[in-house]
Amino acid sequence: MQQPRIDLRSDTVTRPTTEMRRAMAEAEVGDDVYGEDPTVHALEERTAALLGKEAALFVPSGTMANQIAIGVNTRPGDEVLCASTSHVYVWEAGGIARLSGVTARTFAGDGGLLSVDELRDVIRPDDPHYVRTRLVSLENTHNRGGGRVHPIDEVARIARWAREHDLRMHLDGARLMNAVVASGIAASEWGRHFDTMSICFSKGLGAPVGSALAGSAAAIRDARRLRKLFGGGMRQAGVLAAAALYALDHHVNRMKHDHENARLLADAFASTEGFALESGPVATNLVWVTVEPSLGTAAEVAAYLRSHGVFVSALGAQVLRACTHLDITREQAEQAAEVIRRIEPAMLSAATLVY
């Protein structure tokens, strides 16, 4: 009998629930490129209000939302300041340079969480020889930082510094609602520190497709033009917007269970010889783990876990990531934790040979 699959590779693997599918099937739709899809309008208005912004734009992906934001906030030849591990820099295929003609200057931060002290003296001189420092991009939660929540006091300090120097602020909020649930700080409170911010509906919120970019009415007018340029105009997109609306209504508060399940997995890794948590205590739904060479490689551990029905991501020679989400029950998290606790070097060798 085939083992049940416990898929911890990403929170993007979720599938729409029966109720979400029903909402999608019953959605009122129109041609959104003509501005005629009422369900998209409803989602954009809901998202803008949620994030405390004047307007929002529904787009196919978080990458597109972030790259549109780069284009809206900069001119070709400008510079964006961001963490060296930020999604917008590492995992968006060089879009900063290729799509907007902008360079990036990166900083290590504290596990990717930047501070104003790190940024204070980095603005380029007003001189034709230099790029113009124009935008600060933060990520909350920070994926590569172990899903940590960027402290809002530090975000506020960075925002004050940025405004003093006529810099703009963008938030990659792909997992913003995880930060909201973990911190108890409303999305609009985070939003007031940023000129633009993205939110993803297809990660922890569990929708099949879609993100949104929010900002001022003028910024979103510019964003709509860039969405068309980037090929992101969708037609009867209300069937997708309906899923996002359903997610906002039903899948936010339950994220606390994902965070509890992630801590359960983190405890299993931390208590098993050969593993170390990369970012300390787990705050949300991401567990980043270092595999000690004495145990084996990340690929060998992933192969062993796969052979027992548990799927994780090997994202480096000695680095694993496990991610909890809507489709992972408490029972499944406990089962995965038990498999993790049984890992020994001899088992990895056998699993690698068999898999």
- CATH code at position 299: 3.90.1150.10
Nearest CA among 118, 90, 115, 116 for reference residue 104? 90
Average pLDDT, the chain: 95
**225 and 126 in one domain?**
yes
Looking at residues 317-322, what average pLDDT do you find?
Answer: 97
Percentage of the chain modeled with pLDDT above 70? 97
- Looking at the domain assignment, is residue 335 inside a domain? yes
**261 and 117 in one domain?**
no
Cα–Cα separations (whole angstroms), residue 209 to 6, 16, 141: 21, 10, 20
Backbone angles phi and psi of 87, in degrees to 5: -60, -40
**244 and 101 in one domain?**
yes
Which of 208, 228, 250 lies at the terminal end of a domain, its last residue? 250
Q: What is the DSSP string of 216-284?
A: -HHHHHHHHHHHHHTT---SSTHHHHHHHHHHHHHSSTTHHHHHHHHHHHHHHHHTSTTEEESSSS--S
Q: What is the pLDDT of residue 349?
A: 62
- Looking at the domain assignment, is residue 349 inside a domain? yes
Which of 250, 279, 308 lies at the terminal end of a domain, its last residue? 250
**218 and 138 in one domain?**
yes
pLDDT digits (tens, 9 = 90+) for 118-166: 999 999 999 999 999 999 999 999 999 999 999 999 999 999 999 999 9
Residue 353 predicted with pLDDT over 70: no
Of 168-182, 269-283, 326-340, the range with the lowest mean pLDDT is 269-283
- CATH code at position 193: 3.40.640.10
pLDDT digits (tens, 9 = 90+) for 246-277: 999 999 999 999 999 999 999 999 999 999 99
**141 and 79 in one domain?**
yes
Distance CA 335, CA 265 (A): 10
Distance CA 63, CA 104 (A): 16
- Looking at the domain assignment, is residue 106 inside a domain? yes
**120 and 57 in one domain?**
yes
- Beta-bridged to residue 322, according to DSSP, are 287
**260 and 237 in one domain?**
no
- Residue 4 pLDDT grade (very low, low, confident, very high; cuts 50, 70, 90): confident
Max CA pair span of the chain: 69
DSSP three-state, residue 13: helix
Q: What b/e readout covers 204-234, taking b as 16+ CB neighbours within 10 angstroms?
A: bbbbbbbbbbbbeeebbebbbebbeebebbb
- Looking at the domain assignment, is residue 173 inside a domain? yes
- Looking at the domain assignment, is residue 13 inside a domain? no
Total structural domains in the chain?
2
Residue 49 predicted with pLDDT over 80: yes
- Beta-bridged to residue 132, according to DSSP, are 78
Distance CA 65, CA 167 (A): 19
**305 and 217 in one domain?**
no
**307 and 280 in one domain?**
yes
The rounded Cα 310 to chain-centroid distance in angstroms is 22
Neighbours of 340 (CB within 10 A): 27
**Domain housing 324:** 254-354
Distance CA 246, CA 261 (A): 23
DSSP three-state, residue 126: coil
Which of 199, 215, 250 lies at the terminal end of a domain, its last residue? 250
**276 and 177 in one domain?**
no
Looking at residues 295-321, what average pLDDT do you find?
Answer: 96
**151 and 53 in one domain?**
yes
**332 and 199 in one domain?**
no
Cα–Cα separations (whole angstroms), residue 226 to 54, 73, 88, 119: 18, 12, 17, 29
Judge whether 99 and 230 are in contact, CB under 8 Å.
Answer: yes
Q: What is the pLDDT of residue 355?
A: 45
